[in-house]
Chain A
């Protein structure tokens, strides 16, 4: 990933910045120029909570090159209390135990080492709130 691209996405990816639509209240993550629900162009910034619930998930066994040595790993669509939904890996647990309805906390982690440029790419990963790591 070229570094300007990584840098552009810092606010949403590393700070969980989202936008609440002033028209209908929908939380859009990342922020967009127009609300996909009500088409309002007005919104206010908000920062998402670092807790979420799993909507659906999978365990990747056949991984892309950058994640080859991490398989099998769990990945899920999670929803924060503000209603923002996004994709996140689910870690520090048995991947096969991950499923819909599970409560998770969002933790700042290394996501990938980009193969060509070697840039370290960070972001948030989900950790089940009742996991061994979380109870420590």
Chain B
């Protein structure tokens, strides 16, 4: 397989973007990437999208989006794995370049959640309809059950969960693309509206519109498009049983651990080598479960990692310097690519006030549903 690099990245702001449609969001990010790289053609396009069908009644996004950017004729494929759609779009694009089949591949993600759909119901299509949703569970409800199981097994507290939100909003306040670039106090988080016990509103990522895109090419051609390509060193993907009830331990995300092991093995690095990480904090508990399953933090330290500053900018392993899904926003299909963009910029030293000094190796972990799918990428700065 050939070595592969990311040479350009672009995203729209994340938020309630009432003036922009699904296709306009995609075109904005994609055309920006094409301009930055200075390319006049693409060999292939991947569009990560969870539910254009349910959110805005639009499927068949591959050809639609290719046409929107003047690329009708180019192979273009929509990738779906719920909230992991973006990360898996990147992985698919990676293999197309690595295999030698294509040289210039666009990996993108887009979601238009604010357009009148019943978002709670649409998101629940990523859970098991027959065994879970039928009984009235919601997505926050599933993660609330994970949280309660974690509290029961490891003594994790509501305060531990709340610190994750406080920390990510501190990071997000420094991110101009973030949907909610505001800080919140621990008390504000703990006293926010109950959603699904023990989770409150400020433990939950928001409903967002947005798009993100990156351009991939073989590493040995990358200097044609940028002075500072970022190498994709490893990729790993895994699944676990869809229904929470069918997992060995509802407090542990097996798919995250398995996808990480595969990515570490391919990259020939370990969790201790990672300088900066973006993890899938769709709910505060998921950041705790993810850093634990990724091995970034010892299990006994995971719950308190945000409170102790371990995972804050300046800490031993800064996690979600972008503000995470919590503060940056979570347009589900776009999230996996947006995480990659944060790592891409960190490794290029472009993160301004959020910069992790000297970052050389970065990790992005993107997950679908209540953790039934997970994808991990490890990126490296080229000296």
Residues of chain A having any CB pair with chain B under 8 Å:
9, 13, 30, 36, 55-67, 70, 72-73, 75-77, 85-89, 96, 99-100, 111-112, 121, 123
User: Contact partner of A9 among B130, B136, B196, CB < 8 A?
Assistant: B130
Is the CB–CB distance between B145 and A61 below 8 Å? no
**A36 cross-chain contacts in B, Cβ below 8 A:** 241, 246
Determine if B197 and A65 form an interchain contact, defined as CB atoms under 8 angstroms apart.
Answer: no
Given known A9-B130, A64-B120, A77-B245, contact A58–B196 (CB-CB < 8 A): yes
B141 interfacial contact with A, CB 8 Å: yes
Contact with A along B241-253 (1 / 0, CB 8 A): 1011110001100
Interface centre among A61, A85, A121, A123 (most CB of B within 10 A): A61
What are 14 A-B pairs with beta-carbon distances under 8 A?
A55-B245, A55-B250, A56-B146, A60-B141, A62-B196, A63-B138, A72-B194, A73-B136, A75-B135, A77-B145, A87-B137, A87-B244, A88-B135, A111-B135
Is the pair A59, B197 in contact by a Cβ cutoff of 8 Å? yes
Query: Which of B133, B141, B144, B149 is close to A55, meaning CB atoms less than 8 Å apart?
Result: B149
A70 touches B136 (CB 8 A): yes
With A77-B245, A96-B197 as given contacts, are A60 and B137 in contact (CB-CB < 8 Å)? yes
- A53 vs B138: C-alpha distance when bound (angstroms): 21
Query: Are B245 and A58 closer than 8 Å at their CB atoms?
Result: no
CB distance from A42 to the nearest CB of B (A): 20
Number of interface residues of B (CB under 8 A): 35
| In the assembled complex, B195 has its CB within 8 A of some CB on chain A | yes
Alpha-carbon distance A62/B196, docked complex (angstroms): 7
Q: Are B250 and A77 within 8 A (Cβ)?
A: yes
Nearest A residue to B244 via CB reads A77
Evaluate contact between B245 and A86: CB separation under 8 angstroms. Answer: yes
Knowing A75-B135, A77-B244, A89-B135 are in contact, say whether A61-B124 is a contact too (CB < 8 A).
no
Distance, CA A70 to CA B134, complexed state (A): 14
**Is B144 a contact of A87 with CB atoms below 8 Å?**
no
In Å, the complex CA distance between A89 and B241 comes to: 21
B197-A56 in contact (CB<8A): no
Question: Cβ of A57: which chain B residues have Cβ within 8 Å of it?
Answer: 145, 148
Q: Which of B102-137 contact A (CB under 8 A)?
A: 118, 120-121, 124, 130-137
Closest to B195 in A: A62
Partner of B149 from the list A30, A56, A88, A121 (CB cut-off 8 Å) is A56
Q: By CB atoms of chain B within 10 A, which of A60, A63, A96 has the most?
A: A60
Complex CA–CA separation, A123 to B132 (angstroms): 12
User: Using Cβ atoms and an 8 Å threshold, which residues of chain A touch B368?
Assistant: none
Contact between B135 and A123, CB atoms less than 8 A apart:
yes
B207, chain A: closest CB distance, angstroms: 12
CB pair A61 B121 closer than 8 Å = no
Distance between Cα atoms of A56 and B138 in the complex (Å): 15
Interfacial chain B residues near A76, Cβ < 8 Å: 145
